[in-house]
Every structure is written in structure tokens, then in C-alpha cells.
Amino acid sequence: MTSHPDTRSARWTAAAAVVTSGILLSGCSSSDGTGSSGTDGRARSGGTLTFAVGSDAGCVDPQQVGSNDSIYSVRQVVDSLTDQDPRTGKIVPWLAKSWDISSDTTTFTFHLRSGVTFSDGSRLTAQVVKDNFDAVPKLGALATLAQGYLSGVRNTEVVDPSTVRVTFKKPNAQFLQATSTHSLGIESSASVKLSPQEKCSKGVAGSGPFTLSDYVQNRSVTLSKRAKYAWGSSLWAKKGEAYLDRLVFKVVPEAGVRSGSLQSGQVDAIGSVGKADETALKGGAVNLQRRANPGVVFNLGLNNSRPLLKDAKVRQALQLAVDRQQIVDAVFPTGTEPATSVLAHTTPNYADLGPDLSFDAAKAKSLLDAAGWKTGSDGVRSKGGTKLRLTVKWFANAATNQPALELIQQQLKAVGVDVVLKQLQITQFAPTLQSGDFDAVWGNVTRADPDILRSSYSTELANFYHLPASPLDTALNRQAATADPDRRGELVKTAQELLIRKAYIIPVVELETQLGVAKKVHNLDFDASSRVQLHDTWIG
């Protein structure tokens, strides 16, 4: 390695030339591999899938992790009581072969499948499920997702060895969907008894199609196929064991290194593909797979108690002044859709309110005029000496946040609203919401159940956005107490309409999960929460 310095610099020049021309060339190629990889050819067993993710949350306990990069791997270790069809949002059997829900949605009785074992050899019984549901609330802030799903639980009782009943203090229709998530994945009783830290660092024994064989923090998670697995979700195409022998999740923080590694065949799939890497990945032996995350879309969450924002006309003007399509085109990955409701279109009971969210700067201006806000010499409106100025707090949890907000800033400036952007650390998100010290915050919530509207906007819960009590509460409460899917759908639609028409929040864009997957990888599919299911995946 003691190469002569001047040849070294020559090599650098050559290297730079190669890189530059490479980028130009790949920029010219097109072809867009959207959707799931084809199922041509015969599925075969065996092989290792190497998946590069951007981060490691430092934990391999499904009940505790909340970040997609960790969920991709740990999801494969546990099974859930139910599964959710990503196309219809319908809840279907998995570890529970059937269930009964009381008409007021306070009591959920699950009838368990027989013959299910955990990787530590123990058997699935009603007691194990009870142990899990009793332990999860004790994880507290370490497991915010799981704990939220079980909030308000009165008790979990063992009816008989294969029947377990969960009772809530109040109607809680979301719980059925919650049982399909990785957060309420069922772990063996021995695992449940470990301390949260032990579960994080050593992993847990689940009944899933893969078992954890190695975890090196910040480096990799290695999973092995569970032999004789025979209790897969009713949604899976293959019965019995998974196809792949091994899954290796490598932590590769640099987005460019992830996409380069995929292109050069060093890995088979990558997570978090941004707009910047799309061009490089197109045209090669790679498919880009994308799906909108269900739940609350990226939005400006308004603090409705602020004097400026108490006026519905101002809020409606803000809603009309945002050109969502322009933001999508300029900032977000191909295929991302502008918000057409407060919920993303992949959420069950989503209602298309697109017309209410169309861009109309003229109407926004006239609403502000009518509300008494006069344009000053600097282009910013004011009323009684107060400027029409909003501070938007935002957090560095996605590369698209800043450019999207800067564009919104320009769009609102055009109708006379001055937007000040204030970046905070992601760790300050929760404290900021709790303190109420904001005009607006930029954020989203992923959840494949419309009850997320109640947790976010009911005035009877945390009410971080300081909504006034209104008929919206009634709609949100009643949907939580309705087991009938059609009736629930009507109520959820009403709630969405109220949220949008009163302009309590400004929905902007759906969050899209985009994966890069080598073409030789088949059936790497999204689940209902836009995370991955790898039981049916094969390499050929």
C-alpha cells in the first residue's frame, strides 16, 4: 500500500471520472419496477436473504421496538393472534383460529390453535397469552406501541387451556387489529419473565417461522428457519416452514452505501430508499417496492388553542393554500401520493376527501381577507398589529421533512402567511407535544386501524392538538364501540370529514415505505402496516 503518490492522485482523477460518468449513465436509464416481484419460475427452498437496513434500535424484542428497521427482522420471530390482510384491512386467523367480540367491544375472546410451540420448546396455551398481555403494560415507556394497544385493559383471563378472554374498561374496537401487530406478538412465558433489557439484548423465544440465532448490536441480526413450523398466518401462500434458511439483516447507515451494495449484489434487499437513490437503482436487477404507510398522514398538526388558529377561516385558508401535488413532485419518492384525507389510503375505513384538500390560493386569500387579515408592505398579513405568523416545529426523522416544509413555507407566503421553521431533535417530539408549546408540528403516525384518529384527536384523551370538544368526539367514541364493520366505517368517515372540514389539521402527504429488492428475490411482501413478511419469500 505504499503506492507512489503521483500515480495515486492520477488514480483519484480516474476514479472521480468513473463515478461521475456512472451517475450520468444510470440517470439515463428508466424502467420502473413497481409492485411485488413476479412469481415466475418455481419457488425453491433454501438460501440466505441479506437485507440492509439503516439503523439498529439496540433491541430485538418485538414488544419493545418501534422503528421499521428493527421491526423488519424481529417481526419474523413472533406470531400474532391474528393477521391483517394488506389489501382489505380485514383481520384473519393466525395463532387464534377464531374469536368473539362482545357487542359493546369491551370483551375479546380468542380461541387458540393447538399444536403451536415456541422455539424454547414450550407450548402455546391461554396462560401464555395472559402472561404476555399482563406483562406488556409493565414495559411502560419502553414499549409505547404495545402498551397503547392494551391501555384501559381490565384483565386477561384464562377461560380454558385454549381460550383466553381480554376485557377492557371501555369499548375498544381497535384491539382486534392490535392483536395482529408485531408489538403484541406472542412470546414464550419464559421470555416474558425476563427483564426488558435482557429481552432487548438477547432476544426472545417466539413461535414464528424464524428464530434469532445471532444479534450483534449496530452490526447485524441473523435469523434461522424454524424447522417443522406449521401454524402460519392464513394469509400466507406457503404452508409449513419458510422457504429461506437464513435471514441476515445488516446495519448500513449510509443510504448511498445501501443502494450501491444492492446494485453490486452484496445484499439482496434494502430498506429506506429515498428519492436520491431511486435513479441509481432503476434499470438494474432491482425492483423498487412501495406502499403507503397506513395511519395519519404527514401533516401540520395545529395547536387549535392558539389565538391565530382558533379562527376556522384561518385554518381553512392554510388548508387551501398548500399545493400538495407540487410538494409530492418536488420532494418525495416516485409513487408517493398527496394526502386525500387525514388517513392514508391504505388505512381501513379511509374516506377519499380529495376535493376538500385541493389547492386554491385565491379562495385562501379571500378567506383571510374575510377574517380581517390585511396584507402589509412586506407581503405578510396582519390584524390589529399582530402578524399572521406561525412557528412550525419539526424533527429530523426523515430526509424529506426539511425540503417539504420549505416548500410549504413558500406556498403559505404566497397568500400572506409567514411561516417560521424550527428544527428540534426527534427526542423532543414527545415533550413538545406534551407541553403544547407549538403553533404547528410536522409529523405522522403509522397504524393500520382508524382508531388512531381517536388516540390523536379525541378531546377525552391526551388532546395534544387542543381541539375543542365537539361532535367529533362522539363519532370517535362510537367507532371505538362498534363491532359492525360497515357501521364503524360510516363513523370513521364522519370523523374524517369533521377533521378536514373544520380544518383542525392540515394533511399534506402520505408517507411511503420504499424498499429496493433484487429481482432474484420473490414474494417479499408488505404486510398491512407496510412492513415486511418473509415467510413466503424465496430466492431463485
Partner 1 sequence: MRRYVIKRIAQAVGVLWAAYTVSFLVLDYLPGDPVSAMAGAGADSGQVDPAQLAALRHQYGFDRPVPVQYAEALGRAVRGDFGDSVSTGRPVTSSLGDALPQTLQLTGAALLLAVLLGGGVALLATYTTRRWLRQLLLSLPPLGVSVPTFWVGLLLVEVFSFRARLFPAFGNDGLRGLVLPAVTLAIPTGALVAQVLAKSLLTALDQAYVETARAKGAGRVRIHLRHALRNASLPALTVVGLLAGQLIAGSVVVETVFSRDGLGRVTAAAVAAQDIPLVQGVVVFGALIFVSANLIVDLVYPVLDPRIVVHSRRRVSPA
Give the footprint of partner 1 on residues 222-261 (CB under 8 A): 250-254, 256-257, 260-261
242: Cα separation from own chain's centroid: 25
Question: Which region among 112-120, 165-173, 269-277, 440-448 touches partner 1 (by CB under 8 A)?
Answer: 440-448
Segment 83 to 122, residues that bind partner 1, using CB under 8 A = none
Shortest Å, Cβ 351 to partner 1: 21
Per-residue cell: 329: 413532485
Segment 163 to 202, residues that bind partner 1, using CB under 8 A = 195-197, 200-201
Segment 386 to 405, residues that bind partner 1, using CB under 8 A = 397
Strand 440-446 versus strand 389-395 pairing type = parallel
436 binds partner 1 (CB under 8 A): no
Binding residue (CB under 8 A) for partner 1 from 58, 161, 468, 471 = 58
Binding residue (CB under 8 A) for partner 1 from 143, 153, 292, 343 = 143
Segment 315 to 334, residues that bind partner 1, using CB under 8 A = none
Shortest Å, Cβ 224 to partner 1: 19
Which helix (H) or strand (E) segment holds residue 391: the answer is strand 389-395
Nearer to partner 1, 216 or 370 (CB): 216
- Applying CB under 8 A, what is the total number of residues that bind partner 1? 72
Which helix (H) or strand (E) segment holds residue 370: the answer is helix 361-370
**Bridge partners, 3 (sequence order):** none
68 binds partner 1 (CB under 8 A): no
Side-chain half-sphere exposure of 477, counting CA atoms within 13 A = 11
28 binds partner 1 (CB under 8 A): no
Binding residue (CB under 8 A) for partner 1 from 10, 15, 159, 230 = 15
135 binds partner 1 (CB under 8 A): no
144 binds partner 1 (CB under 8 A): yes
Distance between CA atoms of 402 and 98, rounded to whole angstroms?
46
285 binds partner 1 (CB under 8 A): no
377 binds partner 1 (CB under 8 A): no
Nearest to 467 by CA among 301, 304, 299, 302: 304
Residues 6+ apart with CB under 8 A from 473: 458, 459, 460
7 binds partner 1 (CB under 8 A): no
Binding residue (CB under 8 A) for partner 1 from 145, 223, 297, 300 = 145
| Residues 98/174, Cβ–Cβ less than 8 Å | no
Distance between CA atoms of 522 and 534, rounded to whole angstroms?
10
Distance between CA atoms of 268 and 49, rounded to whole angstroms?
6
Shortest Å, Cβ 387 to partner 1: 26
Segment 445 to 484, residues that bind partner 1, using CB under 8 A = 445-446, 452, 455-456, 461-462, 464
- What sign for the dihedral angle of Cα 285, 16, 334, 395? positive
Nearer to partner 1, 59 or 126 (CB): 59
79: alpha, beta or left? (left if phi > 0; alpha if psi -120 to 50) = beta
| Residues 400/407, Cβ–Cβ less than 8 Å | no
Per-residue cell: 376: 402589509
Shortest Å, Cβ 277 to partner 1: 12
